[in-house]
């Protein structure tokens, strides 16, 4: 089996719901990132053999195979195909796994792994909530109901379960949220995202043309008092909109190649895929899967958590990375060093590729060797990717 390398990365800056990216069709948003990725790589666009694109809510403007539509919107040759992947929040991380497996096998040499989500234009859950509204049923079948009677599958409920199980009160969660904003603000002010972000021209509702190149959700003036003032998501709980990920519009892409492509096209790799794992877990607590998935990935790689220089654990809700840190005995100073989804936003199916762009650039910036990325996924799943910076 051959190796898989990440040769180039690109992402949009995150857009707030109703913010600067609200007027951009998701196929166009992803298309702009695809075009920038290929241009940055210097590779012949016709050499791209497939685009595998994650999207968690593939309906409406994100329906009908968003990957192929993004290719057509990008200006890439019509010869470049595309396919859509749905592993909910881990969709584009799974796209990376599929792309890596494809080039490792030698079936293809050059594949783009990408993801997109316009949560402004295609609200979270729209494909299945709209179907239910119009009488087309629910994804919870009679067999699922029999197996999990009166047990809802809820990420919000799962976040509360995680906080209770691991002993986190609201003060701990709010402090974590504040640190996320502080790290993201510092990274932005020091130009840490400059190498990964694709500047995108947008037109405001007032007709003004702007360049969107700064993550819109960062609160540069965040304080603990303001975060603590946000109302609870449910009475008696500890999670709020301030200590959970932000609704976000965004896209990201990674050029994944094998050794043959490196030599053929003269590419210099940024990182090598070292290990890939995916794991299913309890769908009721739902958000705990990154913990056993990480343990499995480390064991398969013959590594310990101390061997990893930086980790990206998606901040879907503050209890998730905090529980991961506690269970793994990991170093909080190595976690989400440039902030996470609480400050930068979580564009669902686009987040896997987005986090990897940030992880690779953070490793390069800090001279680290190994990085680990994981995230919780609806249905109680988690992907883990370990990369080696080159």
Closest CA to 20 of 122, 120, 117: 120
Helix axis angle, 66-74 relative to 26-41, nearest 10°?
A: 60
Q: Whole-angstrom Cα distance, residue 335 to residue 90? A: 18
Catalytic residue among 84, 97, 212, 346: 346
Positions of E strands within the chain:
5-11, 15-16, 50-54, 82-85, 110-118, 200-203, 209-212, 248-257, 271-280, 310-313, 370-377, 381-389
Q: Whole-angstrom Cα distance, residue 251 to residue 267? A: 23
Catalytic residue among 55, 57, 248, 376: 376
Buried b (16+ CB within 10 A) or exposed e, 78-114: eebebebbbbbbbbbbbbbbbbbbbbbeeebbbbbbb
Catalytic residue among 55, 57, 89, 248: 89
**Burial class for 350, CB neighbours closer than 10 Å (0-12, 13-18, 19+):** buried
Q: Whole-angstrom Cα distance, residue 63 to residue 65? A: 6
Phi, psi of 52 (to 5 degrees): -110, 115
Strands 248-257 and 5-11: antiparallel
Q: Tell me whether residue 376 is one of the annotated catalytic residues.
A: yes
Q: Whole-angstrom Cα distance, residue 376 to residue 277? A: 13
Tokens of 323: 């529980």
The residues carrying an active-site annotation are: 89, 346, 376
């Amino acid at each position: 089996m051959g190796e898989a390398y990440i040769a180039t990365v690109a992402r949009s800056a995150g857009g707030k719901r109703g913010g600067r990216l609200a007027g951009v069709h998701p196929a166009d948003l992803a298309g702009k990132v695809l075009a920038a990725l290929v241009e940055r790589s210097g590779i012949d666009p016709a050499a791209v053999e497939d685009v595998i694109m994650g999207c968690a809510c593939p309906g409406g403007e994100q329906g009908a195979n968003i990957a192929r539509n993004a290719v057509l919107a990008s200006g890439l040759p019509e010869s470049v195909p595309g396919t859509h992947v749905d592993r909910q929040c881990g969709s584009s991380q799974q796209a990376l796994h599929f792309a890596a497996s494809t080039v490792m096998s030698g079936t293809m040499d050059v594949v783009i792994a990408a993801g997109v989500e316009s949560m402004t234009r295609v609200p979270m859950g729209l494909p299945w909530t709209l179907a239910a509204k119009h009488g087309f049923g629910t994804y919870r079948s009679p067999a699922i109901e029999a197996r999990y009677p009166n047990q809802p599958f809820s990420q919000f409920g799962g976040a509360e379960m995680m906080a209770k199980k691991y002993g986190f009160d609201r003060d701990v969660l709010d402090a974590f949220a504040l640190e996320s904003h502080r790290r993201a603000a510092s990274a932005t002010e020091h130009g840490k995202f400059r190498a990964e972000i694709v500047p995108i021209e947008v037109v405001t509702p007032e007709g003004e043309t702007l360049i969107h190149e700064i993550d819109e959700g960062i609160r540069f003036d965040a304080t603990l008092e303001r975060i603590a003032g946000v109302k609870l998501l449910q009475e008696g709980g500890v999670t709020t909109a301030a200590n959970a990920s932000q609704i976000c519009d965004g896209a990201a892409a990674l050029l994944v190649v094998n050794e043959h492509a490196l030599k053929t096209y003269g590419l210099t790799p940024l990182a090598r895929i070292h290990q890939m794992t995916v794991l299913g877990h309890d769908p009721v607590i739902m958000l705990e899967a990154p913990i056993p998935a990480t343990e499995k990935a480390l064991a398969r790689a013959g590594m310990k958590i101390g061997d990893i220089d930086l980790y990206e654990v998606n901040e879907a809700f503050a209890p998730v990375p905090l529980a991961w840190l506690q269970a793994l005995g990991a170093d909080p100073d190595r976690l989400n060093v440039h902030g996470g989804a609480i400050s930068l936003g979580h564009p669902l199916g686009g987040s896997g590729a987005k986090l990897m762009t940030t992880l690779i650039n953070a490793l390069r910036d800090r001279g680290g060797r190994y990085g680990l990325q994981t995230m919780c996924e609806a249905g109680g799943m988690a992907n883990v990717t370990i990369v080696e910076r080159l």
